[in-house]
Amino acid sequence: MNTASNADARPVHRLPLAAARREELTLEILELRRRLNAVILAHNYQIPEIQDVADYVGDSLGLAQQAAKTKADVIVFCGVHFMAETAKILNPEKIVVLPDKDAGCSLEESCPPDQLAALQATNPNFYTIAYINCSAAVKALSDVICTSGNAEKIVRSAPADRDLLFVPDENLGQWVMERTGRPMTLWRGNCYAHVEFRRDAVLRLRQRYPDAKVVVHPESLHEVRELADEVCSTEKMIAYCKSSPARRFVVVTESGIIHRMQKECPDKEFICTPVYDVMRMPADNCRCSECKYMKLNTLEKLRDCMVRLAPRIELPAEILERARRPIERMLEISARP
């Protein structure tokens, strides 16, 4: 997998596909899906063309839940590598493909399994809660997995007599500590895309649109989270915007989510929060936040991975086995009322 450092981060700028080309590729993908008995799962940050052809679009929790119950023979995962790995762990007998094998994650990179094992060895009473944005090998070392959609519930259900170790997102971990009052040892990882949002940018938007509600992803910094009307996962953001009487929303997360927000709330306005990093300023002055990994997937690559049944997720049997239990534990706790 590509392990480009955070300093390499550049937003990816694409021209939209011509309508005829998009239509042609979409028809090919739908025919392949029928022939393969495949299901296409897409994360909320995927490009609109991919979201529109997917069977299901959602957050990491929803995608894991869909993967756990699918009857399809092939899972086509339009997201990043750790998400496709999770689908494979839940379906070791199925073929799982993703459009671009280099679609990684800065959080996953921040937590090598050997370093985690070394930290765990310092305290046998650690109970390890791993954010789903980590490798299968890290999942295999963990007691339970969480997503931003259920992190609070997972931490509240952790055994009271254990010392909690939360990996790898320190911002999500801090937020859950604030919500639950439960102290945790935090791994020092972060999402390179979310930590670029700054307090000033949100304050400016609040001044310009005083009627707007501010929705923030918990991977963001504390200085940004404390300005939010709502801090939640991408799926809960969409639900919040749908049910809120407000007409306008300042959205503090990756800009791919705006497609679903506009589609599902056509009469509301969504404002992307800009990232103010002059080193990253692209030529067209667009300063929306884009995850360079999520945006590696294209409609062409989606078609190609279905034709070739590759890149395919393959994992050692021992990792598959050990990583399944903490994911199943998460799904079981999530399903509780």
Chain contacts with ligand SF4 (rule: CB under 6 A): 80, 105-107, 133, 191-194, 219, 254, 291, 293-294
Alpha-helical runs (H) found in 126-244 = 136-140, 151-156, 170-180, 199-208, 222-225, 234-243
Least separation in angstroms between CB 251 and ligand 13P: 12
Q: Which does 215 bind (CB under 5 to 8 A by kind): ligand SF4, ligand 13P, none?
A: none
> 192 touches which of ligand SF4, ligand 13P, none (CB within 5 to 8 A by kind)?
ligand SF4
Distance from chain centroid for Cα 307: 26
Q: What is the number of other CB atoms lying within 10 angstroms of the CB of residue 207?
A: 8
Question: Given the complex with ligand SF4, which of 25 and 107 has the nearer CB atom?
Answer: 107
Under DSSP, the state recorded for 126 is E
> What is the spatial distance between Cα 67 and Cα 88, in angstroms, rounded to a whole number?
8
Query: Where on the chain is the footprint of ligand 13P (CB under 6 A)?
Result: 44, 59-60, 133, 147-149, 191, 219, 233-234
Q: Which does 201 bind (CB under 5 to 8 A by kind): ligand 13P, ligand SF4, none?
A: none
CB of 317 to ligand 13P, least distance (A): 27
**Shortest distance, position 121 Cβ to ligand 13P, whole Å:** 29
Q: Compute how many other C-beta atoms are within 10 angstroms of the C-beta atom of residue 113.
A: 16
The answer to whether the Cα torsion of 159, 163, 169, 175 is positive or negative is positive
In terms of CB distance, is 44 or 255 closer to ligand 13P? 44
Q: How far apart are CA 158 and CA 50, in angstroms?
A: 37
Q: Which residue has the tokens 């990994």?
A: 293
Q: Which does 106 bind (CB under 5 to 8 A by kind): ligand SF4, ligand 13P, none?
A: ligand SF4
Please name which of 236, 66, 212, 269 lies closest in space to residue 151, comparing C-alpha atoms. 236
Shortest reach from residue 140's CB to ligand 13P, in Å: 20
**CB of 65 vs ligand SF4, minimal distance in Å:** 18
